[in-house]
Amino acid sequence: MLPFKLVYHPGYDLNLGDHVFPSQKFRLLRERLLGDGLAAPEDLVEPEPACEADLLLVHDRDWVERLRTGTLTFHDILKLEIPYSRQMVKAFWLAAGGTTLAARLALRDGVGFNIGGGFHHAFADHGEGFCAIHDCAVAIRRLQKDGLIERAMVVDCDVHHGNGTAAIFARDKTVFTLSIHQFNNYPGEKPASDIDIHLADETGDEEYLERLRDAYVPALAEFQPQLVVYLAGADPYCQDQLGGLSLSLQGLQARDRLVLATALLHKVPVAIALSGGYAVDLEDTITIHANTARAANEVLRCLGWGGAGRA
């Protein structure tokens, strides 16, 4: 058994059909973790969809209503870059509920792992880049509202800049945002995070890890968050279709260990969401996400969990 829970729901699949975003990866990752023996069925917990009140902690009512009723404009669909369906909306509601549950479990166990989520291009009033609802922001706001945390830190290691995250928390001193990403990539407009690490094309393991460490370690020590939300994107991988960085499988797992160990050494729990991953070979994307779970298992067992969080 794992020392933390995996949050998963079959409804996470956005049912996109033939699309560059392989939303079947959530199901395939669950199957991989069980098939490899890393996880047991009892390690899995199923979330409820986020309620409307939770979504409205982050999103404008008009945007939530347009999603719920299927009244998106043509412009809305163009910016989302995914087809509208009832299944798609349900998947985003579930992802927000899943990341919120993962965050609650992280306070108890040290790590909470959502086999989904990380939709960091969603803004308060619209969606972009495959992201309609910002599950990570919803989770942070829900835990803050419940009095479980005051300060959170978002560590976004997707290949793409976390523009929705930066915009949502732009004037909020209780949430620290860090994004490490390929500069010459989507989105074209990049609102300022608290720390933005702009990487050149083809950046590899050594430089990536050095620049992440040099920014993240002192920022966490100074800000002293009560929760880290880690977007463990698989798309910095050297063979990703939508990325232009050159990280190896080993480099990505070293990244996971760095983010997790730094937080846990400071007694800060970590909620993990998957974010992007579009490798030429889908099995590589699944391997990268599975390796994040392996890293979490190794680090948590090595360091233990002595936090005083509540779930």
pLDDT in tens, 117-130: 999 999 999 999 99
Structure tokens at 214: 């040099």
> Is residue 277 situated within a structural domain?
yes
> Is residue 166 situated within a structural domain?
yes
Q: Which residues, other chains included, contact 146 with Cβ-Cβ below 8 Å and sequence gap of 6+?
A: none
**Cα three-residue angle 222-102-36, rounded to 5 degrees:** 110
> Is residue 70 situated within a structural domain?
yes
Give pLDDT, residue 308. Answer: 54
User: Could you list the residue range(s) of the whole structural domain that residue 73 is in?
Assistant: 5-303
Nearest to 143 by CA among 271, 286, 8, 14: 271
> Is residue 174 situated within a structural domain?
yes
Integer angstrom CA distances of residue 19 from 199, 253, 266, 276: 27, 26, 40, 13
Low-confidence ranges of the chain (pLDDT < 70): 308-311
Give pLDDT, residue 310. Answer: 45
> Is residue 224 situated within a structural domain?
yes
* Single pTM value for the model: 0.97
CATH of the domain at 246: 3.40.800.20
Number of domains, the chain: 1
Give pLDDT, residue 271. Answer: 98
Give pLDDT, residue 311. Answer: 44
> Is residue 31 situated within a structural domain?
yes
> Is residue 36 situated within a structural domain?
yes
The dihedral through the CA atoms of 33, 36, 39, 40 has a sign that is: positive
Only one residue has tokens 């008009």, namely: 62
> Is residue 293 situated within a structural domain?
yes
